[in-house]
């Protein structure tokens, strides 16, 4: 699949998850029955266009409730999307990931590989453990990641404030803090490909845990691979698809598949068969 097709899928996914178009003009949040359903990607519940609920927000709300109840539905949805797609959710279905890619297309200085890249990726796991799980369990009624860090929530707040004077009149220091974070992420997106996904997103951290086991995953044909390094050079998540096949950072964008000169890589539910794997019984007849 080429990048144009993936870009189209991302655009359609973002549109479907935010199809409450009248909310962008009225400044009111949709609260119908669809709001009970978790969408797969990072998409704030409070966005005026949002039809569904963000899985991270739903998880935090469940964990921080006054009377604890295990969030079976939310965990079940995360397990379903993770087991089926892994981080393909990030590469195809996440609206905020798509926004970062749009910004990265703007002509600007680009630097995607640097020494601190790998250590910085661990931050999202710390955020997942502390802000999404541990602290919401101890600080009741406070979805900490949503409240203090989530850039999608900040974007939703801006959209609401534009058409809702009540919301705009109540914006204070906390909103300013989150607006600064959003601004840093958007500026970083000019230089680095999907920096929030790489370093800060706890939802990507969750889906990454499934990458080696998900039904949709990367496959490599060792008989075709010539270890030329083309796939590694093309990977904007900075992994080596040959040595680190289905690494937790892989978002299934397909750049490595397109870069391989020998068609040794493929993305799907199973390994593509090569000519050497065809049974001799089905080999072409030799008339000699």
Whichever domain contains 268, its CATH number is: 3.30.70.20
Q: Which tokens is 80 given?
A: 């379903």
- Is 50 exceeded by the pLDDT of residue 51? yes
288 assigned to some structural domain: no
Final residue in a domain of this structure, among 164, 185, 208: 208
Residues 66 and 178 in one domain: yes
What confidence category does residue 106 fall into, taking pLDDT thresholds of 50, 70 and 90?
very high
- Residue 192 shares a structural domain with residue 226: no
Residues 73 and 112 in one domain: yes
The first and second tokens of residue 172, run together, are 């204070």
Identify whether 213 is part of a domain. no
Question: Rounded CA gap, 152 and 149, in Å?
Answer: 9
Same domain, 230 and 259: yes
Query: Is 18 within 8 Å of 49 (Cβ atoms)?
Result: yes
Q: What is the pLDDT of residue 94?
A: 97
Task: Please name the residue that has the structure tokens 């009970």.
Answer: 36
Q: Three-class SS of residue 131?
A: helix
Encoded tokens for 277: 């794997």
**283 domain residue, yes or no:** no
Residue 20 lies in a domain: yes
Gap between the Cα atoms of 272 and 217, Å rounded: 12
One domain, residues 198 and 225: no
* Structural domain includes residue 102: yes
Q: Are residues 85 and 141 in the same domain?
A: yes
Task: Give residue 260's region: left, alpha or beta (phi > 0; psi -120 to 50).
Answer: beta
Q: Say if 127 falls within a structural domain.
A: yes
Residue 287 pLDDT > 60:
no
How sure is the predictor about 280, in pLDDT bands with cuts at 50, 70 and 90? very low
Query: What is the rounded CA–CA span in Å between residue 65 and residue 20?
Result: 28
Judge whether residue 286 has pLDDT over 60.
no
- pLDDT range class, residue 284, cuts 50, 70, 90: very low
Q: Based on the domain organization, do 243 and 203 belong to the same domain?
A: no
Has residue 44 got a pLDDT over 60? yes
The pLDDT of residue 281 is 44
Distance between CA atoms of 168 and 165, rounded to whole angstroms? 5
Of 188, 208, 228, the residue at which a domain comes to its end is 208
In a shared domain, residues 131 and 267: no
Average pLDDT in the 40-60 region?
Answer: 94
Question: Which domain-ending residue is among 157, 178, 208?
Answer: 208
Give 191's strand partners: none
Same structural domain for residues 60 and 82?
Answer: yes
Q: Do residues 203 and 225 both lie within one domain?
A: no
Instruction: Tell me which residue range forms the domain holding 257.
Output: 219-273
Q: Are residues 53 and 25 in the same domain?
A: yes
Tell me, yes or no, whether 165 and 53 share the same domain: yes
In this predicted structure, the answer to whether residue 278 has a pLDDT above a threshold of 90 is: no
- Helix (H) or strand (E) holding 11, with range, is helix 3-17
């Amino acid at each position: 699949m080429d990048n144009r097709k993936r870009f189209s899928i991302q655009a359609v996914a973002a549109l479907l998850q935010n199809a409450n178009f009248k909310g962008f003009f009225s400044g009111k949040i949709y609260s119908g029955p669809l709001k009970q359903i978790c969408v797969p990607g990072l998409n704030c519940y409070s966005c005026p266009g949002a039809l569904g609920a963000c899985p991270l927000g739903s998880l935090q709300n469940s964990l921080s409730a006054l009377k604890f109840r295990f969030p079976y539905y939310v965990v079940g949805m995360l397990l379903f999307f993770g087991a089926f797609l892994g981080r393909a959710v990030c590469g195809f279905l996440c609206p905020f990931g798509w926004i970062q890619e749009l910004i990265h297309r703007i002509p600007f200085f680009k630097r995607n590989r640097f020494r601190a890249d790998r250590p910085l990726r661990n931050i999202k796991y710390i955020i997942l453990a502390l802000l999404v799980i541990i602290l919401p369990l101890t600080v009741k009624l406070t979805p900490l990641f949503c409240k203090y860090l989530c850039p999608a929530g900040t974007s939703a707040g801006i959209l609401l404030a534009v058409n809702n004077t009540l919301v705009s009149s109540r914006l204070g220091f906390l909103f300013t803090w989150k607006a600064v974070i959003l601004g840093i992420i958007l500026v970083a997106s000019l230089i680095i490909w999907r920096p929030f996904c790489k370093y800060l997103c706890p939802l990507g951290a969750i889906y990454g845990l499934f990458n080696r086991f998900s039904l949709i995953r990367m496959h490599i044909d060792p008989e075709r691979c010539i270890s030329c390094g083309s796939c590694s050079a093309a990977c904007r998540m900075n992994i080596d698809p040959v040595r680190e096949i289905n690494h937790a950072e892989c978002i299934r964008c397909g750049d490595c598949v397109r870069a391989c000169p020998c068609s040794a890589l493929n993305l799907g539910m199973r390994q593509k068969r090569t000519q050497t794997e065809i049974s001799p019984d089905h080999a072409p007849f030799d008339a000699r």
